[in-house]
Amino acid sequence: MTAVTSNATDQVDVVLIGGGIMSATLGTLIQQLEPTWTIRLYERLDDVALESSNPWNNAGTGHAALCELNYTPERKDGSIDISKAVKINEQFEISREYWHHLLAQGALTSTDFLQRTPHMTFVRGEKNVDFLRRRHETLSAHPLFKDMEFSADRGTLADWAPLLVEGRDEAEPVAATRNTAGTDVNFGALTHQLVASMTARGADVRLQHEVKSIRRARSGGWKIKVKDRSWNAPERTHTVTARFVFVGAGGGALPLLQSAGIPEIKGFGGFPISGEFLRTSNPELVARHQAKVYGKADVGAPPMSVPHLDTRVVDGQSYLMFGPYAGFSPKFLKKGKYLGLVTSLRLDNLTSMLGAGIKNIDLTQYLVGELVSRPETKFATLQAFYPEAQPKDWEKITAGQRVQVIKRDKDGKGVLEFGTEVVAAADGSIAGLLGASPGASTAVSAMVELLGRCFPAQADAWRPRLAQMMPSLSGGVPADTGALDEPLADAHGLVVNSEAYGA
């Protein structure tokens, strides 16, 4: 990717802040819909996809709700609510349809970012086994989950994922579900392809440029003050005017939206949560575990901390990764400033922050407990998944920063908002995305929603084009995205039959 550094113009149609999967997705969508619009992307670091979109800073899954228990809560009457799982699965399929369209166009040059990885849910104990069985019965009755398998047989589980069974107490009840149509997605590699496509179509991508403030322009639109962080910058700061601004800066989105002064951001707060993972590249272990396996979160733990043992493929090499373990840093970005949390506090969000803290004492206790846990205690969490795990095989890595969204509830008090949230000005001239999981996996549907909210005057004209790219959006026959999977191989190099990914 070649970064454009020309200062030929200080006025553009669209400014994208942050070089992650969200900005890259929105930028390519706008180019598809309005190819004459000028687009400029600002990224404060040396390259795109170095924060939350980096493969080692996120869980890397194509979240299709095939394995995450927090998307299928149990109701008081014992029934299983699958509505959120269905929605997320549909949203991920929209992402796949869009990627398929870009691949057919040549905007994506390979499917190296996508790997076949079965998605599993693994539980222990009679009560959890019973829940998983009922969850499977409910999910598998829906067409989107009809291929999901369930087993409480140790021999079957050993075939699916032997590390989960070997060395485990024979008296312990265990069970798992499996869906072989799962994927592992390197969103960093995907972001690089999307940004390269944007640049080839005329977008102005400026690395090492940090947006310092956003203000209303008297003539309409927004004035964005930008600092050039490169060592040989001809000018340290410049100002650009844009008709539309998207803040896709991950944890940095909240303070930038606050600087814009839009009423819609009032009451929103954020609490940064760091994380750690254990990783191994031991070829013997990697060869014996080909799955993304989610477990059940501890009582009081946030959804983003659900333990999982995953196959990861990054730059052609396979790894296993386990976690996350909660950590704390006051930064809003992994490579951000230590005063991120402090500088985000406002009079309008203090009530929200305090209210959410009071309502979630158990979460606070969980985070404190995680921070003071001894290394051997943390490693025991991995051994609950993989009983024969040995510390010598694993290294600790620090994940990306997540900012837990806090907003006002109906009573004006604070509430934690799990998931992602689009915040847009009433006139649609600026918008940003807050939150984390399922995040990247649903980037396409999130950005399509954002386009509808911010550009209502163009919505009717864009609808046929969007339906052509993503038929599911208009209730049409889902696109056959099998072309995404034709070159797709699993982590061991075996070419996989793509029929499981049919419409």
Write the DSSP assignment of 383-409 as a string of letters: HHHSTT--GGG-EEEE---EEEEEEE-
pLDDT of 246 higher than 90: yes
Q: How many residues does the chain have?
A: 503
pLDDT value at residue 416: 65
Stretch among 213-217, 222-226, 393-397, 414-418 having the lowest mean pLDDT: 414-418
Full-model pTM: 0.89
Q: With contact defined as beta carbons under 8 Å apart, do 99 and 32 qualify?
A: no
pLDDT of 177 higher than 90: yes
> Rounded to whole angstroms, what are the CA distances from 183 to 140, 344, 482?
19, 36, 13
Angle, helices 83-105/21-33, rounded to nearest 10 degrees: 60
Angle, helices 443-454/83-105, rounded to nearest 10 degrees: 90
Q: Report the pLDDT averaged over residues 57-64.
A: 75
> Residue written as tokens 């039959």?
497
Q: Report the pLDDT averaged over residues 167-183.
A: 95
The alpha-helical segments, DSSP class H, found in 281-360 are: 283-286, 340-344, 347-359
- Joined together, the tokens standing for residue 480 give 């056959």
pLDDT value at residue 479: 64
pLDDT value at residue 358: 60
Confidence of residue 6 (pLDDT cuts 50, 70, 90): very low
Give the distance, in angstroms, between the CA of residue 149 and the centroid of all CA atoms in the same chain.
26
Residue 413 and residue 410: Cα distance in Å, rounded?
Answer: 7
pLDDT value at residue 8: 44
More confident residue, 408 or 206: 206
- What does the pLDDT look like over 210-235, one tens digit per residue? 999 999 998 889 999 999 988 887 77
- What does the pLDDT look like over 129-164, one tens digit per residue? 999 999 999 999 999 999 999 999 999 999 999 999
- Joined together, the tokens standing for residue 199 give 């640049």
More confident residue, 481 or 224: 224
More confident residue, 323 or 162: 162
Confidence of residue 279 (pLDDT cuts 50, 70, 90): very high
Residue 124 and residue 325: Cα distance in Å, rounded?
Answer: 20
CA-nearest of 392, 400, 251 to 324 is: 400
pLDDT of 489 higher than 70: no
Q: With contact defined as beta carbons under 8 Å apart, do 454 and 428 qualify?
A: yes
Q: With contact defined as beta carbons under 8 Å apart, do 384 and 124 qualify?
A: yes
Residue 42 and residue 239: Cα distance in Å, rounded?
Answer: 12
Alpha-carbon dihedral sign for residues 17, 29, 95, 115: negative
Q: How many CB atoms lie within 10 A of CB 246?
A: 28
Burial pattern 313-342, b for ≥16 Cβ within 10 A else e, equals bbeeebbbbbbbbbbebbbbbbebeeebbe
pLDDT value at residue 480: 64
> Residue written as tokens 């004459």?
36
- DSSP code at position 179: E
- DSSP code at position 178: E
Backbone angles phi, psi at 491, to 5 degrees: -65, -15
pLDDT of 497 higher than 60: no
Q: Are strands 430-435 and 237-247 parallel, antiparallel or unpaired?
A: parallel
pLDDT of 5 higher than 70: no
Confidence of residue 283 (pLDDT cuts 50, 70, 90): very high
Stretch among 344-358, 413-427, 433-447 having the lowest mean pLDDT: 344-358
